[in-house]
Structure 1
Amino acid sequence: MTKSKSPYQLPDPLVCDPSRIKNGVPLEVVAEYIELHKQRKQRYRYLEMMYKGFHDIFFSPNKPDWKPDNRLVANFPRYITDTFMGYGYGNRIKKTHPDQSIQDAIAAFEDANEISDHEFELLKYVCIFGHAFEYLYQDEDSQTKMTVVKPDELFVVYDDTLKQRALFAVRYGYRENDSQTGSNRSLGDVYGEVLTRQAIYTFEGDKQNEPIENPYGYIPVVEYRMNDERIGLYETVSGLIEEYNRVISEKANDVEAFAEAYLAILGAETDEEGVQRIRDDRIINFYGTDNAADISVQFLTKPTADGTQENLLDRLEKQIYQISMVANISDEAYGNATSGVSLAYKLQAMSNLALGFDRKIEKSLKKRYKIFCSLATNVSDPDAWKDVVITTSRNIPNNRAEETTIAKDAEGLVSKRTQLSLLSYVDDPDAELERIKEEESKDSELIQGLFAEHEHEDVDDGSAEVEE
């Protein structure tokens, strides 16, 4: 049995004394923090490999050739991540602003960046690694664009005060070859860029290029966190998952061993030389008697621990979902939920997890739009980001008949807008109110028109004389 061990250290924030970078960020400081960041790459690789289904059991020592050696993986990390993302952020995050011109600018910015896919991938990486980054830049048409950067490619250094204000960010990688540059540097030299509030400059090895002015006035990198500790969604249950893989693999080995049981022949003489390769032929022959009554032929099977294994697998599975706080929605219990309230209770833990994540997301999105609004080419008011309203909604099956009944019962108790917000199939209560007003106005005009037509009609009251 392999012992679980932590393959990494948690990603505590990188901090720096601001006095070290008063006159810019020296390459010596950059190199120092790159070395510190490299120590965390093993953790990021481990978590990403788990999500992709390449778990530690594939890298454990091989068993002897004559023993079954199954390597089975239950990819809980992917199920946990995709289930949580679908539940919490399957619906697009809404951003609204009271100023229509600002709202239109934000909508155009999001459309240009394919925001639904961008945010889903960004938050997925946050769930996997515990944090991830969003990089903002100006393209060749001077349009603000965004891209997702994994935390093994970029890091932010903060000051050592209580506020922990970001000082600079570094995005780096390694050259596979330097044939294009023609330099004398060895293969694998580090290259990248340093981002500060004032400027952005690139570097290769020990050479720093001329700085480029930062158009935003802020470090154009936004960090998104799962929590303050930057712990990933399934990171706390990684040991349980590895143990589940080991147990179910050993169970498969037992099944295979049972199917290839040894045949034991006890007490029978043989004219042949005997069985030479017990492992290959799976026959054990102990001979020495001619009495048929003393001869025994039977299969050898080792004691099975099937019940113990099943109990352990069930316990591990329950603990994985319970500790990760993500519901196993494929369980029959969720299909038996008779009302929205009962389903809500079953999803309570995952809902609490999503609500905590919402707060971190809102904080980071505010910073995104703060950077976006800093350019006059985007919006005219640099403080417009303060009035951006962030709204998230859960992606859960809804009983529309039940919702409609609840909304009807709220008539006269709450405002029309609140009443409409109780209906999950009404995306925008304000827009729906406007449509209702338009319909009422049209109905009123139609009724008034009908009355006006009747007023101009000649009414025959029977008083006219009849000509003989």
Structure 2
Amino acid sequence: MSTFYKYAEILDAANGVPTPEVLAEIIADHMDMNTRTAENYGRYKQEKEHTPILTREFEGEAAKKINNKLSNDYFGEIVDTKVGYMFGMPVGIQYDKDAPGYATAIKAIERFRKINNLDDLNAEWCKFSSISGYDAGLCYIDKEGKERVMRIDPWEAIVISKTTFTEPEYGLVYYPTWEENKVCVEFYNAKTKYIFEGADFSNLILNTEKTKPHMFNYCPLFGIPNNEELQGDGDKVFTLIDGFDRAMSDMNSEIEQFRLAYMIFIGYEPDEETLALMMRTGALYIPTSEDGEKIEWLTKDLNPAYIDSHLDRLEALIQRFAKHINFTDAAFGSQITGPAMRYKLFALETKSKYFERKHEAAMLYMFKVIGSAWQTKGFPFDYAMIDCIYTRNIPANLLDEAQTATALSAIASKRTALSVVSVINDVDEELRRMEDEKEIYGELDLDNLNTIPNKDNPENAGGDLDD
């Protein structure tokens, strides 16, 4: 199972304390995922050994032909577009204003966000989850005693849970060290970080000096799944991308190899000297005879319309099954209405919304872990009081939004009307500002913006704005 359910039960029976044998078995079971996730990342980077078209070779007589290898980075575009669409605008983190200790909690959250550069982490988590099917995060206490979080490569992280990928009971990180012929395994339960070392993962020894409490009340290693199946965004379309690469490479080789035409000799066999002279001078002399010698060009009809149609069909299928949007489409450069834009973005939005829910679950678990350290320091914190606000990174039609908000204000609350305006990230904060401005300036005279009413003396215009 992706959540390694059986190992959670084995570890529960041992009070959460691992043995080298159990760790070796867990790592052996994870090797298929290790290989797949690392290969997907290699393909994202367009590394030769992980991109099929770049390793294609012909055998026999075909090996003498030109073998162009044109790799089209559809996978990178699919991933990067999703990351930019979802996390180009930072995720907002709100805390319930009515919760006890609100002021302290919001300061702690903002400090944690800045110290850990959480906006960048979120983008990287989305990128690696989209590439490999999942990514991982690890909470820890740094040397200054601050709560920190870092991302862990998916091919090195194993999440063990009896419930869901975002609610781990146990977790481990395994990797080769900088020392030659030495590997390390970090195992985490709800209280302790265990360090095992050895020559390989089947011969591990517990390092008691490095084993110590991790200072949280929950397993600090957690997963960020792309979906429940732990599939990357390219897994279902790799064969289509490979087909596109082969078709384009073969077409390019055909053009380069044969120069679009053959010269044919009918009833006449030129010798090597004649061919060399022809290639040098561009002319060929054939003496007249009654045998009917004939020289002409045999041109090749490559039928570009058919080839373009085939490539267009492959590209459309890649976009369809990867739920990807081609933003170079001419329609995105024109003025299209809000509903039309939403229809064009529907596939990408569907995929993004699914990951958004997984990401939010992982964020809540992260704050559950971090919050346990804050609670130990003595201030109240409830991770369930957190809301994550996701804003899509798309060009906004502010005029359309403003008109919609104005129309809504006639039949709905001001809060609801303001929520449709994309430049307003925090509706509560905007309402507060509106109230503050009303107290300071009164109701603005929209017909005469050269003056500002004075709330202390309404008859005094307050002077010219330019002053």
* Bin of the TM-score, shorter chain as denominator length: 0.7 to 0.9
CA contact (8 A) 1:266 1:297 kept: yes
CA contact (8 A) 2:454 2:460 kept: no
Q: Residue in 2 aligned with 1:42? A: 35
- The partner residue of 1:319 within 317, 320, 336 is 317
Post-superposition Cα deviations, 1:238-289, rounded to whole Å, max 9, x if no partner, equal 111111101111111111133174433333476766769xxx99x9x9x9x9
CA contact (8 A) 2:267 2:292 kept: yes
- The partner residue of 2:18 within 3, 13, 25 is 25
CA contact (8 A) 2:166 2:362 kept: no
CA distance in 2, matches of 1:325, 1:33: 34
Q: Residue in 2 aligned with 1:193? A: 186
CA contact (8 A) 1:372 1:378 kept: no
CA contact (8 A) 2:46 2:73 kept: yes
* Residue 124 in structure 1 maps to residue 127 in structure 2: yes
- The partner residue of 2:44 within 22, 46, 51 is 51
Q: Residue in 2 aligned with 1:16? A: 6
Alpha carbons of 1:124 and 1:274: their partners in 2 closer, same or farther (altered >3 Å)? same
CA distance in 2, matches of 1:270, 1:220: 79
CA distance in 1, matches of 2:418, 2:166: 42
CA distance in 2, matches of 1:270, 1:298: 13
Alpha carbons of 1:150 and 1:452: their partners in 2 closer, same or farther (altered >3 Å)? closer
- Of stretches 406-415 and 76-85 in structure 1, the one that deviates more from structure 2 is 406-415
1:305 CA displacement? 4.6
Q: Residue in 1 aligned with 2:448? A: none
Post-superposition Cα deviations, 1:142-183, rounded to whole Å, max 9, x if no partner, equal 101111111101112234x799963421111124644xxxxx
Alpha carbons of 1:272 and 1:442: their partners in 2 closer, same or farther (altered >3 Å)? closer
1:449 CA displacement? 2.0
CA distance in 2, matches of 1:345, 1:112: 39
Structure 1, unmatched stretches of 5+, are 1-10, 179-186, 454-468
- The partner residue of 2:56 within 60, 84, 104 is 60
Alpha carbons of 1:304 and 1:168: their partners in 2 closer, same or farther (altered >3 Å)? same
1:292 CA displacement? 7.0
Q: How does 1:254-403 map to 2 (within 5 A)?
A: 254-259=254-259, 261-268=261-268, 291=289, 294-376=292-374, 380-381=378-379, 383-403=381-401
CA contact (8 A) 2:56 2:69 kept: no
Alpha carbons of 1:335 and 1:292: their partners in 2 closer, same or farther (altered >3 Å)? farther
1:62 CA displacement? 3.6
Matched residue SS, 1:215 = coil
Q: Residue in 1 aligned with 2:140? A: 137
Alpha carbons of 1:176 and 1:92: their partners in 2 closer, same or farther (altered >3 Å)? closer
CA distance in 2, matches of 1:222, 1:342: 39
Alpha carbons of 1:162 and 1:40: their partners in 2 closer, same or farther (altered >3 Å)? closer
Q: Residue in 1 aligned with 2:172? A: 170
CA contact (8 A) 1:258 1:301 kept: no
Matched residue SS, 2:357 = helix
1:224 CA displacement? 0.6
CA contact (8 A) 1:374 1:382 kept: no
Matched residue SS, 1:297 = strand
Percent pairwise identity: 25
CA distance in 2, matches of 1:357, 1:91: 16
Q: Residue in 2 aligned with 1:420? A: 418
CA contact (8 A) 2:133 2:233 kept: yes
CA contact (8 A) 1:326 1:350 kept: yes
CA distance in 2, matches of 1:37, 1:245: 31
Alpha carbons of 1:337 and 1:239: their partners in 2 closer, same or farther (altered >3 Å)? farther
Provide the alpha-carbon RMSD of the alignment. 3.0
CA distance in 2, matches of 1:118, 1:164: 17
CA distance in 2, matches of 1:40, 1:62: 30
- Of stretches 38-47 and 443-452 in structure 1, the one that deviates more from structure 2 is 443-452
CA distance in 1, matches of 2:77, 2:164: 38
Q: Residue in 2 aligned with 1:239? A: 239
CA distance in 1, matches of 2:457, 2:380: 50
CA distance in 2, matches of 1:375, 1:221: 15
Alpha carbons of 1:435 and 1:18: their partners in 2 closer, same or farther (altered >3 Å)? closer
Q: Residue in 1 aligned with 2:405? A: 407
1:414 CA displacement? 1.9
- The partner residue of 1:202 within 181, 189, 195 is 195
1:103 CA displacement? 0.9
CA distance in 2, matches of 1:223, 1:163: 6
Alpha carbons of 1:292 and 1:212: their partners in 2 closer, same or farther (altered >3 Å)? farther
CA distance in 1, matches of 2:431, 2:454: 20
1:114 CA displacement? 0.8
Amino acid aligned to 2:234: Y
Alpha carbons of 1:369 and 1:272: their partners in 2 closer, same or farther (altered >3 Å)? closer
CA distance in 2, matches of 1:403, 1:317: 33
CA contact (8 A) 1:420 1:426 kept: yes
Q: Residue in 2 aligned with 1:184? A: none
Structure 2, unmatched stretches of 5+, are 199-203, 443-452, 462-467
What TM-score results when the alignment is normalised by the length of structure 2? 0.84
Between Structure 1 and Structure 2, how many residues are aligned? Answer: 427
Amino acid aligned to 1:59: T
- Of stretches 139-148 and 210-219 in structure 1, the one that deviates more from structure 2 is 210-219
CA distance in 2, matches of 1:417, 1:164: 33
Amino acid aligned to 2:170: F
CA distance in 2, matches of 1:112, 1:49: 30
Alpha carbons of 1:345 and 1:230: their partners in 2 closer, same or farther (altered >3 Å)? same
What TM-score results when the alignment is normalised by the length of structure 1? 0.83
- Of stretches 407-416 and 20-29 in structure 1, the one that deviates more from structure 2 is 407-416
1:290 CA displacement? 5.0
CA distance in 1, matches of 2:81, 2:166: 33
Q: Residue in 2 aligned with 1:462? A: none
CA contact (8 A) 1:375 1:382 kept: no
Amino acid aligned to 1:385: Y
1:450 CA displacement? 4.7
Alpha carbons of 1:386 and 1:256: their partners in 2 closer, same or farther (altered >3 Å)? same
CA contact (8 A) 1:337 1:343 kept: no
Q: How does 1:247-258 map to 2 (within 5 A)?
A: 247-258=247-258
Matched residue SS, 1:242 = helix
Q: Residue in 2 aligned with 1:216? A: 216
